A and B are shown apart, each in its own frame.
Chain A
């Protein structure tokens, strides 16, 4: 195991948190520690959490901090090797055969190889950050295949041999935890569970993301969202919804709507499920009043 104490000038969890703050992402201590360890130990970072807590955003911020391009692979059921790793450019190969005539032509050169996210990350590990998003959506076979990739960071292409990364690329995996990931996969990763941020942090996030929102409004929104999350909803609001709610209410308020009413009118931004809306409706006033 190779341990690099300092990556791109970042030598502690605090330095990483500071750099991510500059990239418009507020990371708590747990996340910055896990992310720093992942970078230092050269292991993939597995982020789990409810939808909308900022898992993908964390990966983007990490890419910005390291000054790397984000290569994103969205997982889905039925994801196959051709869209995850590489593909041969068959029309071009056919053309090459025709044009070559009797001459020798190397059909498996770089010209004919279309690199997909996983291969892209291996080719330039210092310039790219691979994000494998919503890994829980993929099927078990892809997960098993991923194991091999994540443990030795190599891919074998039958026509070309094995392609190995010069150094372990930075890989971030996210999961909504709709199903449990395989233990073998978790074992290879540095893990962090992103929960909903505490109210103080969430208010800071709101103010950072939506600059037009006043401090009071931010705290009010965060308090109201906190109460909504305590309700048994089908889809509790995430951080992104909190930010949108604050923005929407601020907009309505600027057009003359008084405060609690502005929040109530913008409720569609934060609750996007008819059953949830109907469930909360009778108590919405109380939830908002407590927040004001």
Chain B
């Protein structure tokens, strides 16, 4: 095989990565080995090898095949979402970067801001919620769901621990003084907070970020993202102890305050970055959004279905739900309602804190639920 003929085999994994598929270097190596093993006698062999090694799920099979055709057959195709791809939200993780650089410099792509986005930073209103938030912080560890760990630990009650018993025996010449017992340990589930920062959420994002800051500071493992016209990871900023500093830092990172809502697209961007999607795995997912989606609900429903299959529970806090007479009327909200475990009010600090440590029964559901 001449180097030139090798080109598509190397370009293909790159294209896969660009589209959010999984293509690790070891997989590329396997792919080349697999193609060699199969002959290859026809392009179908190469395609089957690609399917077997890169393993696109059935839901993304078509996309994968289109990409394959483009690279190997040189076939031009127009994906359904092609026309809007320039405006599509991109993922932005400020986590590993210098903390005080202006957000423009941190942006890896630099072009992600479309003209239609209204990019301006907004300062947070300062109120005296300290008492409320510290009460919330105290109540939170008890309210957060726990899962059973695979590891056993010594306990006061539990089942006999033969391994330690034997060591005990050996240590004391065959005499057992006390029967050691063990028990599966418990770990807090990860908490993933997704905050909608679109224009319609203007009144609530500040409170939501304060709540998120408390969660990040209090929970063992927590992640926070803001969703608007683009996706921003603010976890790192919120880890600061000083609330005002943390919020100022986070607000500097978020470049799409009060812009339009493309919740579905932003969520699917979140899910297409494997590292981010991993944060949702087995986690308690808190979405703070009014669910007002521009355009059809299809993208949002598809993204929520995927999120559903990853998450442990999904709690949706909507400022609109504060009104007792409110019913989910919009198409998007109605469509995703079956995918949500708990829908509650989320307009201000009191409502959100109350929903998370108070009313949301599922948060308190047993230690090992």
A: which residues have CB within 8 A of B?
A: 1, 3, 5, 12-13, 29-30, 33-34, 36-38, 40-41, 43, 46, 48, 78, 80-81, 88, 90, 93-94, 97-98, 107, 139-142, 145, 177-180, 182-183, 186-193, 195
Contacts and interface: CB of A to CB of B under 8 A. Distances in A.
A135 to B, nearest CB: 14
Contacts of A94: 166, 169
Contact of B26 (A141, A180, A187): A187
Nearest to A192: B52
Secondary structure class of chain B's binding surface, majority of residues: helix
A139 B22 contact: no
B169 A88 contact: no
Given A1-B29, A180-B310, A182-B278, A33 B165 contact: no
Pick from B30, B38, B274, B278 the residue with the most CB of A within 10 Å: B30
A219 to B, nearest CB: 26
Contact of B22 (A78, A183, A190): A183
Nearest to A187: B24
B37 interface: yes
B34 A37 contact: yes
B288 interface: no
Given A80-B150, A90-B166, A186 B22 contact: yes
A191 B51 contact: yes
B163 A88 contact: yes
A145 B151 CA distance: 11
A90 B162 contact: yes
Given A33-B38, A140-B281, A183-B278, A88 B29 contact: no
Contacts of A195: 58
A33 B34 CA distance: 10
Contacts of A182: 278, 281
Interface string B42-57: 0011001101111101
Contact of B27 (A29, A107, A141, A187): A187
B162 A1 contact: no
Interface of B: 22, 24, 26-27, 29-30, 33-34, 36-38, 44-45, 48-49, 51-55, 57-58, 61, 147-152, 162-163, 165-166, 169-170, 174, 184, 274, 277-278, 281-282, 306, 309-310
Contacts of B148: 78, 139
B186 to A, nearest CB: 12
17 contacts: A1-B29, A1-B30, A3-B33, A13-B48, A29-B48, A33-B52, A40-B33, A40-B37, A46-B55, A90-B162, A141-B151, A145-B150, A180-B306, A183-B274, A186-B55, A193-B55, A195-B58
Contacts of B147: 139
A116 B148 CA distance: 22
A179 B30 contact: no
Nearest to B275: A183
B37 A3 contact: yes
A22 to B, nearest CB: 22
A186 B282 CA distance: 17
A48 B282 CA distance: 20
Contacts of B26: 187-188
Given A3-B37, A94-B169, A191 B58 contact: no
Contact of A141 (B48, B150, B309): B150
A246 B359 CA distance: 53
A94 B163 CA distance: 11
A210 B150 CA distance: 43
Contacts of B54: 191
A195 B34 CA distance: 22
A167 to B, nearest CB: 17
B64 to A, nearest CB: 11
B58 A193 contact: yes
Contacts of B38: 12-13, 33, 37
Nearest to A145: B150
B153 to A, nearest CB: 13
Nearest to A84: B150
A62 to B, nearest CB: 14
A117 to B, nearest CB: 16
B12 to A, nearest CB: 16
Contacts of B169: 94, 97
A177 B57 CA distance: 10
Given A3-B33, A139-B150, A187-B27, A179 B310 contact: yes
Q: Closest 10 CB pairs between A and B?
A: A191-B55, A90-B162, A141-B150, A34-B52, A33-B48, A183-B274, A190-B52, A37-B34, A140-B282, A193-B58
A108 B27 CA distance: 39
Contacts of B34: 37, 40-41, 190
A17 B256 CA distance: 55
Given A1-B30, A190-B52, A141 B149 contact: yes
Pick from B53, B150, B152, B166 the residue with the most CB of A within 10 Å: B150
